[in-house]
Amino acid sequence: MFSWLASIACRCWKPVRRYARMNKDDNLDDSSSMEDPLVWCTSLQKHAFGEFSFAVVQANKVLEDQSQVEIGRDATFVGVYDGHGGPDAARFISDHLFLHLMKHAREKGTISEDILRSAFSATEDGFLTLVRRTCGIKPIIAAIGSCCLVGVIWRGTLYVANLGDSRAVIGSLGRSNKIVSEQLNKEHNASMEEVRQELRTLHPNDSHIVVMKQGVWRIKGIIQVSRSIGDAYLKRPEFSLDPSFPRFQLPEPLGPPVLSAEPSVYTRVLRPEDRFIIFASDGLWEHMTNQEAVKIVHNNPRQGIAKRLLKVCMTEAGRKSNMKYDELKKAESGFRRQYHDDITIVVIFIDHDLLGKTQPVPELSVRGFIDTVGPSSFSIFKD
């Protein structure tokens, strides 16, 4: 039985009063000896099927990326939520999506693609309800949204669900034991011809459904991602913003929703050659290819690997502006956004000898950029 479900009836994922201190800045070498206060990481921790490494860097004035790893006795959950317009939607997802997943999984007695879709739908409905209740005092909340990338490993199977342009990439051993990358999820970004064609097909009478603006394809000339949680003003006419918010003005009144909260879902039975999965917000992939990322993970020690990826990414971002890494990490939040985005990276290692076995791992909830880890809302589960 799926341990998150079995925790209702047996001793799995019960509340555990266990906390551990995370590292704000684990130095990898002498060149990074100066602490970067905008970087958070946990170098290496155990999960049910191996180990994981986790790192986040803040670039915006307020961190818009939210993230979590939920560790069970025989299941692992990863969530990366890349917010835009503000942190509200990403924070809401972090607080609610995993719990919706557990609720639907408990009711059905299993995990499946449909259950992932149900959890996404319930999270979207919940956030739109919050928007409806608060837009009178905070109208800008109607323009706040978030990408949402989720991975679940259970019984040797990986489930990935995605809205937006975050990315899950698996590293597998190919011929001659060379590491090979494979992207596991579809991205929903208007920069892709496939996405633009999908939008034109769904909105045949809307000549402004995708518009090139300042060299970038944007939906209605405003936003790049075509699927998200939130962005209520692009989904329902009741949430349209008045002219005091010119950035979010549509060229004509909203008809059918132009954004969707329907995730792309992928299922993969883990194979003996699969070694690790990288879950990351698009801030990483702006500066690094899939193959470059898996080679870095494969060719370096596990300890601190998420932060190593982060450092390579930031170094490349700085290089594009003739700025050294040591200079870039002195830049304050907000100003740093000129060079790179908020970035979240979770690397999940798969040790195949552990698959299908019950492991004495701590049943913990880890939230990105928070200094402590511990049980989140597991009190809803009863032994």
More confident residue, 125 or 46: 125
Does 366 reside within a domain?
Answer: yes
For residues 24, 29, 33 and 38, what is the CA-based torsion angle, rounded to 10 degrees?
A: -40
Residue of 358, 353, 328 whose CA lies nearest to 343: 328
Burial classification of residue 8, based on how many CB atoms lie within 10 Å of its CB (0-12 exposed, 13-18 middle, 19 or more buried):
middle
Does the residue 222 lie in any domain?
Answer: no
The closest of 298, 365, 369 to 72, measured between CA atoms, is: 365
Would residue 249 count as lying in a domain?
no
Kindly state whether residue 95 falls inside one of the protein's structural domains: yes
The phi, psi pair for 244, rounded to 5°, reads: -70, -5
Q: In whole angstroms, how far apart are CA 332 and each of 32, 88, 316, 336, 339?
A: 17, 22, 18, 6, 11
Is a pLDDT exceeding 70 seen at residue 371? no
pLDDT in tens, 146-195: 999 999 999 899 999 999 999 999 999 988 889 999 999 999 999 999 99
Q: What is the pLDDT of residue 11?
A: 29
Nearest CA among 81, 106, 76 for reference residue 93: 81
Q: Which domain holds residue 371?
A: 3-185+259-380
What residues does 210 pair with on adjacent strands?
Answer: 219
CATH of the domain at 130: 3.60.40.10
Q: Is residue 88 part of a domain?
A: yes
Is residue 312 assigned to a domain?
yes
Task: Tally the domains of the chain.
Answer: 1
For 253-292, write each residue's pLDDT tens digit.
Answer: 888 999 999 999 999 999 999 999 999 999 999 999 999 9
In this predicted structure, what is the pLDDT of residue 373? Answer: 59
pLDDT value at residue 122: 98
The predicted model scores a pTM of 0.90
Q: Could you give the CA distance from residue 263 to residue 292 in angstroms, rounded to a whole number?
A: 27
Asked if residue 225 belongs to a domain, the reply is no
**Angle in degrees, 0-180, between the axes of helices 305-319 and 290-298, rounded to the nearest 10:** 140
CA distance 238 to 241: 9
> What is the band of 108 on the pLDDT scale with cuts at 50, 70, 90?
confident
- Phi, psi (rounded to 5 degrees) for 304: 70, 20
Give percent of the chain with pLDDT exceeding 90. 68
Average pLDDT over residues 17-40: 51
- Per the model's pLDDT, the better-predicted residue between 339 and 360 turns out to be 339
Does residue 300 lie within any of the structural domains?
yes
User: Token digits for 383?
Assistant: 């032994």
Mean of all residue pLDDT scores within the chain: 87
Between 38-42, 213-217, 280-284, 356-360, the lowest mean confidence (pLDDT) is in: 356-360
